[in-house]
Amino acid sequence: MKTLRSYIGREIYVATGLVFLALLSLFAFFDFIHELGDLDKGQYQIGTALIYVFFSLPGRAYEILPVAVLIGALFSLSNFVSTSEYAVMRASGLSMRRTVYALAQIGVMLSILTFLFGEFIAPVGDRAAQRLRLKATTSNVIAQNFRSGLWVKDDNKFVNVARVMPETVMHNIKIYEFDADYRLLSISLVERGEYQSANIWLLKQITRTTFDNDVAKVKNISEVRWKSVLSPSILNMLMVVPEQMSVLDLYSFIDHLKENRQDASRYEIALWQKIVYPFAVLVMIIIALPFANFGGRQVGVGAKIFLGIMLGLLFHLSNRLFGHIGLLNAWSPFLSAIFPTFLFLGGAIFMLKKEEER
């Protein structure tokens, strides 16, 4: 059994690697073509676009790994069926249950690889890509649901930042301070904020308007030190969409949002999707088995590969679709994240049982 598992694993790993490289190259080419539309914006040139695409590759790799595993496993297992190797394996005493167990063992390594990409490599690459692009195009505005810029709730203050520079510098800041009864106490207009240390910002050129009953007083201040929940790490998180953040970053940011009584649904869905996503690799490698057996030797390998591509696209789209539907309908973040994987797993189990009954 160990020898057989090693043989099957070697074939699946090689096929998955080739498919993975082909898909990664294809997506990199499409990303580069897309970036050509932003050439000559600021200092954004072809060389910068190539570096941007290179930094984005880990994120793309994380996205396509389950699809690559599905196509690679389907290709290898279909070859076994077409050359009658699978029939010989079954005749030698390899049951369906033992085959699934062997495939699951093979898939564990690929699941770990997916987790490592999603947790440690992809977020760093995506953040570096965003920093590079922002700095090159000089379009340093980061919007959080609003065209007016980034909005953050900080205790009894609402902070609006029009521009965030990669070098931990903020421009055109508005700070609205309220009392416990949500009465407006002051508005501070700040031209520039520079991060110092320990969540301390040095604000420069401040115009502060305070409200006391029906009296408004305006005061100009050259510099002031401001302690805020905002930090470079939080700003870096906001430069990357939730789906591209690591599990630890998502957990930290969700905690920050809940402390400030803000809606964290999108980030909670993204967190559960990141946790569940590596298990999708196991589902993909298992679901490849019944599809490889579909039609036996009468159905060609090419047709099964096409079916695998369609299945992979369906999984990828359904994963994104249920995330958005769950967000719109206020579903449980866990259910919104796990449903596509659970649906495919249920389909795989049903088809395996049908295959075993034949």
pLDDT at 3: 82
- Do 166 and 107 share a domain, yes or no? no
Give the C-alpha distances (Å, rounded to integers) separating 310 from 48, 92, 306, 313, 315.
34, 33, 6, 5, 9
Q: What is the pLDDT of residue 11?
A: 95
Q: Is 209 exposed, middle or buried (0-12, 13-18, 19+ CB in 10 A)?
A: middle
Q: State in Å, rounded, how far the first CA of the chain is from the last one.
A: 23
247 lies in a domain?
A: no
Residue 185's pLDDT is 94
Please check whether residue 177 lies inside any domain of the structure: yes
More confidently predicted of 256 and 325: 325
Confidence label for 354 from pLDDT (cuts 50, 70 and 90):
confident
**Total domains, the chain:** 2
**62 and 174, same domain (yes or no):** no
One domain, residues 126 and 164: no
Q: Is residue 100 one of the residues assigned to a domain?
A: yes
Measuring CA to CA, how many Å separate 69 from each of 15, 278, 286, 324?
8, 11, 10, 25
Q: Is residue 154 part of a domain?
A: yes
Q: What is the 3-state secondary structure (H, E, C) of the chain?
A: CHHHHHHHHHHHHHHHHHHHHHHHHHHHHHHHHHHHHHCCCCCCCHHHHHHHHHHHHHHHHHHHHHHHHHHHHHHHHHHHHHCCHHHHHHHCCCCHHHHHHHHHHHHHHHHHHHHHHHHHHHHHHHHHHHHHHHHHHCCCCCCCCCCCCEEEEECCEEEEEEEEECCCEEEEEEEEEECCCCCEEEEEEEEEEEEEECCEEEEEEEEEEEEECCEEEEEEEEEEEEECCCCHHHHHHHCCCHHHCCHHHHHHHHHHHHHCCCCCHHHHHHHHHHHHHHHHHHHHHHHHHHHHHCCCCCCCHHHHHHHHHHHHHHHHHHHHHHHHHHHHCCCCHHHHHHHHHHHHHHHHHHHHHHHHHC
Report the pLDDT value the prediction gives residue 133, as an integer from 0 to 100.
81
Predicted confidence (pLDDT) per residue in 217-245, tens digit: 999 999 999 998 888 877 766 666 788 88
Same domain, 130 and 162: no
**Residues 35-63, mean pLDDT to the nearest whole number:** 91
Greater confidence, 10 or 180? 10
Over residues 91-100, the mean pLDDT reads 85
List beta partners, residue 31. none
Q: Percent of the chain at pLDDT above 90?
A: 49
Where in the sequence is the domain holding 127, given as residue range(s)? 2-138+265-357
71, 214: one domain: no
Which residues does residue 211 pair with via DSSP β-bridges, in sequence order? 216
The amino acid at 138:
T
Q: Does a structural domain hold residue 107? A: yes
Candidate ranges 229-238, 258-267, 321-330; pick with highest mean pLDDT: 321-330
Which pLDDT does position 141 carry in this prediction? 45
Based on the fold, state whether residues 13 and 90 are members of the same structural domain. Answer: yes
Confidence category of residue 148, pLDDT binned at 50, 70, 90: low
Residues 21 and 97 in one domain: yes
Do 184 and 113 reside in the same domain of the chain?
Answer: no
- 251 part of a folded domain: no
* Average pLDDT over the chain, rounded to an integer: 87
Give pLDDT, residue 237. Answer: 61
- Give the whole-angstrom CA distance, residue 41 versus residue 134: 10
- pLDDT mean over 103-132: 91
pTM of the model: 0.81
Sheet holding 157-165, edge to edge: 150-154, 157-165, 169-178, 184-197, 200-212, 215-227
pLDDT of the residue at 149: 72
Q: Is the pLDDT of residue 252 over 80?
A: yes
- For residues 169 and 96, membership in a common domain is answered with no
The answer on 120 and 24 residing in a single domain is yes
Same domain, 132 and 28: yes
Q: Tell me whether residue 282 is in a domain.
A: yes
Is position 257 within any domain?
no
Answer yes or no: are the C-beta atoms of 98 and 1 closer than 8 Å: yes
Grade residue 358 by pLDDT with cuts at 50, 70 and 90.
low
312 in the same domain as 220:
no
Of 33-47, 52-66, 103-117, the one with minimum mean pLDDT is 33-47
